[in-house]
């Protein structure tokens, strides 16, 4: 069925089980033009399809979570979206959870439409979880939070991202003395209160962020940590930032992993090497 229909168990529970079984690596599917070139594929829809499906078939059998970056598919128009739909289906069939990286955030009926596109089980683009932006106010995410919980799906809310330009906004102090990023973490913690073993709403915190910037002790949900690998973050950085228990932390690797293709054996070996380092 489109989008995998409605799911039986809460996302947080399914994620915790998948991490126990497969480790905490989140493999990105980012069909960047430079990667298509490196794989000796044309910058066309057929080239995109060959790249994305080949990578997904290998990675989704190995990792807990597959994270397609929607923008690189959208750049190809309707044909690219059709490929993205196939990526979601292939990843799901291989047993991986799908975190669709869309970073959507709006208000009212527009947010409701995004919610229908990515969190409604009858949509061909429905994923197990999506990334969302709270920067029109955390309350603007209410439709997505409600829909995710109703359908057994999850959200990852941008809190403290790894791009250098984020610090000025996300570390700005509010009148209550908290940073913007900390206030987002606290809002997510309130949503997760009383759930377990892992809440359905997580946060995005870059693996390159300085230790001590955020208090995640009450979060109660998962953390997506981009910046692992290509942006320079190491397992030691993850442990310094999040503590030694990384069971709720998804280390995201995209281009650093995908550059090991197109040889399937090399790509598979790369996944296992990274997984071993995280464990």
Closest CA to 30 of 231, 236, 275: 231
Q: Identify the CATH number of the domain in which residue 140 sits.
A: 3.20.20.70
Residue 171 has pLDDT above 90, yes or no: yes
Residue 70 has pLDDT above 90, yes or no: yes
Give the confidence band of 244 by pLDDT, cuts at 50, 70, 90.
low
Q: What are phi and psi of 64, to 5 degrees?
A: -75, -40
CA–CA gap between residue 48 and residue 73 (Å, rounded): 8
CA–CA gap between residue 159 and residue 203 (Å, rounded): 6
CA–CA gap between residue 158 and residue 170 (Å, rounded): 10
The mean per-residue pLDDT over the stretch 179-201 comes to: 94
Residue 77 has pLDDT above 90, yes or no: yes
What is the overall mean pLDDT for the chain? 92
- Number of domains making up the chain: 1
Q: 50, 67, 103, 178: which one is catalytic?
A: 103
Q: pLDDT higher for 236 or 180?
A: 180
Residues with Cβ within 8 Å of residue 130, at least 6 apart in sequence: 99, 100, 101, 102, 104, 118, 119, 144, 153, 154, 155, 156
The mean per-residue pLDDT over the stretch 39-58 comes to: 98
**Structure confidence by residue, pLDDT tens digits, 96-140:** 999 999 999 999 999 999 999 999 999 999 999 999 999 999 999
pTM (2 d.p.):
0.94
Q: Which residues form the domain of 268?
A: 2-278
Decide if 103 is catalytic: yes
């Amino acid at each position: 069925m489109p989008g995998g229909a409605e799911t039986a168990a809460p996302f947080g529970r399914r994620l915790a089980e998948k991490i126990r079984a497969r480790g905490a690596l989140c493999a990105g599917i980012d069909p960047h033009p430079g990667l298509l070139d490196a794989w000796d594929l044309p910058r066309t829809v057929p080239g995109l399809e060959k790249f994305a499906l080949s990578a997904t078939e290998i990675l989704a059998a190995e990792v807990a979570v597959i994270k397609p970056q929607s923008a690189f598919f959208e750049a190809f128009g309707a044909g690219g979206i059709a490929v993205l739909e196939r990526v979601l289906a292939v990843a799901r069939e291989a047993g991986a959870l799908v975190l669709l990286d869309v970073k959507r955030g709006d208000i009212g009926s527009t947010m409701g439409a995004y919610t229908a596109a990515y969190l409604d089980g009858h949509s061909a683009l429905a994923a197990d979880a999506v990334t969302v932006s709270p920067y029109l106010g955390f309350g603007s995410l209410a439709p997505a939070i409600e829909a995710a919980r109703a359908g057994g799906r999850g959200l990852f809310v941008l809190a403290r991202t790894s791009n250098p330009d984020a610090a000025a906004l996300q570390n700005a102090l509010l009148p209550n003395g908290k940073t913007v990023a900390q206030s987002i973490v606290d809002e997510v913690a309130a949503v997760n209160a009383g759930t377990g073993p892992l809440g359905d709403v997580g946060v995005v915190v870059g693996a390159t962020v300085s230790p001590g910037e955020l208090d995640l002790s009450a979060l109660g949900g998962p953390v997506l940590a981009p910046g692992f690998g290509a942006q320079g973050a190491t397992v030691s950085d993850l442990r310094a930032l999040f503590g030694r228990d990384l069971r709720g932390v998804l280390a995201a690797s995209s281009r650093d992993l995908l550059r090991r293709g197109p040889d399937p054996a090399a790509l598979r070996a790369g996944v296992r090497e990274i997984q071993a380092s995280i464990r």
